[in-house]
Every structure is written in C-alpha cells, then in structure tokens.
Amino acid sequence: MNPIRLLITITALFFGSLLMQPEQAEAQQQITLQEAFERALMHNHAIEIERIEGDKATNLAIPGNAGLLPTLDLVGGGEFSVQDADLEIADFNEEGGRDIRQISVDGAESRTYNASVQLSYTLFDGFRGRYRYQQLKTQNSAAQLSTRITIENTLLEVADAYLALLRAEENLDVREENLAISEDRLERIREDRRVGSADELNVLNAEVNYNADEIELSAARVERKNAVRNLLYLMGNESDRDVDAVDSFVLNDSLNPDELLRLSMTQNAAVLLAEEQTSIAELNKNIAGADRFPRISLSGSYGYFRQEIDASNLPLRETTGFTGGVTLRYNLFSGLSRQRSIDNARLDVKSSREQKMSVEKEIRKEVLNSYERYANTLSQLELTRLNVQTAGRNFENSREAFRLGQISSIELREAQVNLLNENLRLNNLTYLAKQNELVLMVLSGQLMDE
C-alpha cells in the first residue's frame, strides 16, 4: 500500500480513537472530528499538492533514471539530393600509367536510407549510477516525509479549528444560560419595583446588565459562525453551510516528558527528514568523487544501409549487419573544477549535519515547551473545576438570598459574573489542554503508531 494512503487510514483511525462519539442527530448538519479529518485528507489543497509531489518522487526512483539500465534506440533516416556532377575517373594500365576519363552528369540523383537498432550500456562509471539510484530512493523517502509533515500540520490545524468550534458552541451555551439568568433577574427586579421593594436604579442596572449579556451572546454567535467557516475551509469545502461539532473527548493526563523526548528523536518527521537530507548530501559527495574514475561504455547496433548514386561508378551500395564497440573515457585535467565540486559536496555534508543537529535541538525545545504548557494547563484545569463548583454554589446561595431580600441585585450580579467567567475559563482551558496534547503527539511522532 502507498505509504501516504496508509498514513491517511491510520490517521483517521487514530484521531477517531481520541474522541468519544455520541449518538448523532441530524447527520447532515453534524460532523465528528474523524469526519473532518477524512474530508481534509480528501480535499485539502496543501495535502493534495504534497501528495502529487510525493508521487512524482516515487516515479523517479527507478534504476533507469540512475543510468543503471541499458538504453535501446530505434534510429532511421533518409536523404535525397539532385546535383550536377563533374567527375574524373582514373584507370590504371599495365605499364603503370593511368588514363583519365571525364564524366559530366546534370541532375544526378542520390538517395540514402538507413535504419538501425542501437544498444548502449555503461559498464563502469565510478559507481555513479549506484550512488544516483540510492539518491533517488532517498529523495523519495524525503518527499514522503515532507508529505507526512504537511498532513500532520494540516490535521493539527483541523483539530484546532474543530476544537475552536466546540469551544465556541460551549461558550455560546454558557452565554445563553447567562442571558436567561439576567432576564430572570431583570423580571424579578421589575416585579419588586412594582411592589415597591426596589427602586428605579436597581431596574436600570439590571437592564444594563441584560443588554451587556445580550451583546456578548451576539458576539458568541459570530465567533461560532467564524469557527464553522475556518473548519470548512480546512476541509476543502467552499460552501457557507452550517455544521455542528458533536464530539466529546477525554484528556490524556499521563504523558511522560522523558518518553516524549525519546520518541521525538526517533519518530518526529522533521528529524527523520533532516537525516534523509544528510544522506542525500553524502551521496552527492560520492557522486562528485565518481569523476575521478574512468568511464567504460558498451555500444552495439544492428542496422540496414542503402545508398543509390547516379553519378558514380558504384551506383548502389547496400549493407546489413551488426556493429559493436567499447569506449573508455578518462578526464586527465578539468581545470580544477572536479576538485572544487568534491570540496563543495563535503561542505554540503557538513552543513546538513549542522542542520540536523539544529532540527533536533529545536524539536527538543518544542517538546519541552509544549509539555510545560500542557502540564500547566492541566493544573489550571483542576483548579478551575473547583472554582466552577464553588462559584455555582455561591450563585445558588446568592440567588436564594436575593429572593429573601438579604443581598442586593448588584451582589447577585457579581455572583453571576463570577460563575460566568469560571465556566468560560473552564471551557477555554479544556480545549487548550487538548490542543497541547495533540501538539505533543505530533512532535513525538506518535501519529503513525496508534
């Protein structure tokens, strides 16, 4: 199976296992994260472009492109000419003298035909062909890794967009519930105003708070619509239809930084690509060094030749048969260009090794930074869950106290805002933690292992 197709299948299964899929209602309007990945893998333009480049590299990685196979050509031609010819023909006599005869022909025609099958093969070229074939295969591996990097990055963008949509939907629910609370508070204060237990200032404050919450709800609706468009774009869908994210997920809170670092040095696509680039540079050095050796080539042909000449004492010539030969070529002096090419190839190897070390250090840094963000987000998430519970109890107590007239509407509003902020923080931290987790999986190269 094509490695990229295998990657697509494994990726879809992997991310599908990350998320727990509830029952779907209205299948035409709802979408799971796995479905979002599948659509992106099928229709995302960046992935398709990289896939095409990978197919091109695969097509090139054959022995024939490295000069390891013989070439067979069919060659044919014909020529026709009309010329005025003045000829002098010498005939030698028995006394050792010669007699000269002059011949003049106007409009003399000549025709030449030839056809042959020619075989050429390089017997030895300083192992250039072998190195070139290894280079083509390495370039193919590098192209597949580049495609993998594009797929991983695109799927990570899709996951971010999907999580952003989930977060926007959750925030919208929180805003709607908050507006319902504000509406209930406003109605109660208006009722209290009618019975004389509240003044006009309390009513005005409640109206301002209600209007502010309605504005925030409107902004939350816009945020959700933008999140939908972003997700549709990454899936390669140009339509402006609406979709709902329906997945709920479980956070993995058992990631180990040492194991992540170990895996990142052996499985990360960028590290593997840097290794392939180093191999390509070393093969280029070997190819440059192959110019120090002679080249031996074998050639052979089987052909037919026919020539017809009016103005000739040999009016017809026709041959059929085999021709073969061996050619040796060795460059004695190249103006020092060969040595310069070898020196530059060695420098390229040194540069690629430095690049590989730089990539490894960068990936190591990114793993550590991402893990710190991941662990810190999990810690914040635990505290925020406690805060949500506390803020919920505080709001319920405050609402009951407000009904009994024990606190003011401003104090109730403060408890309401505290509950709102903690719920929003909980949503944001939950999806941020999942984003950090997905980044760590990509950095450690675990996408292909699940």
Q: What is the mean pLDDT of residues 128-157?
A: 93
Confidence at 101, pLDDT banded by 50, 70, 90: confident
Among 99-113, 134-148, 258-272, 430-444, name the one with the lowest average pLDDT.
99-113
Distance of CA 346 to the CA centre of its chain: 30
- What's the rounded Cα separation, in Å, for the pair 447 and 364? 17
* Burial (0-12, 13-18, 19+ Cβ within 10 Å), 268: buried
Q: What is the mean pLDDT of residues 197-220?
A: 90
**pLDDT tens, residue by residue, 403-414:** 888 888 889 899
**pLDDT tens, residue by residue, 231-244:** 999 988 766 678 88
Confidence at 29, pLDDT banded by 50, 70, 90: low
**pLDDT tens, residue by residue, 169-195:** 989 999 999 999 999 989 988 988 888
Place of tokens 């070997």: 286
What radius of gyration, in Å, describes the C-alpha atoms of the chain? 40
* CATH number listed for the domain at residues 3-72+125-294+334-448: 1.20.1600.10
Confidence at 129, pLDDT banded by 50, 70, 90: very high
Torsion angle in degrees (nearest 10) through CA of 398, 403, 405, 406: -20
Q: What is the mean pLDDT of residues 389-413?
A: 90
- Flag whether pLDDT at 145 surpasses 90: yes
Torsion angle in degrees (nearest 10) through CA of 151, 148, 47, 161: 10
The domains of the chain are located at 3-72+125-294+334-448
The rounded percent of the chain whose pLDDT value lies above 70 is: 91
Among 69-73, 103-107, 214-218, 337-341, name the one with the lowest average pLDDT.
103-107
- Flag whether pLDDT at 221 surpasses 90: yes
One-letter amino acid of 250: V
- Flag whether pLDDT at 280 surpasses 70: yes
- What's the rounded Cα separation, in Å, for the pair 440 and 380? 18
Helix (H) or strand (E) holding 151: helix 128-195
One-letter amino acid of 397: N
What is the chain's mean pLDDT, rounded? 86
The rounded percent of the chain whose pLDDT value lies above 90 is: 60
Place of tokens 């062909």: 129
Q: What is the mean pLDDT of residues 65-69?
A: 91
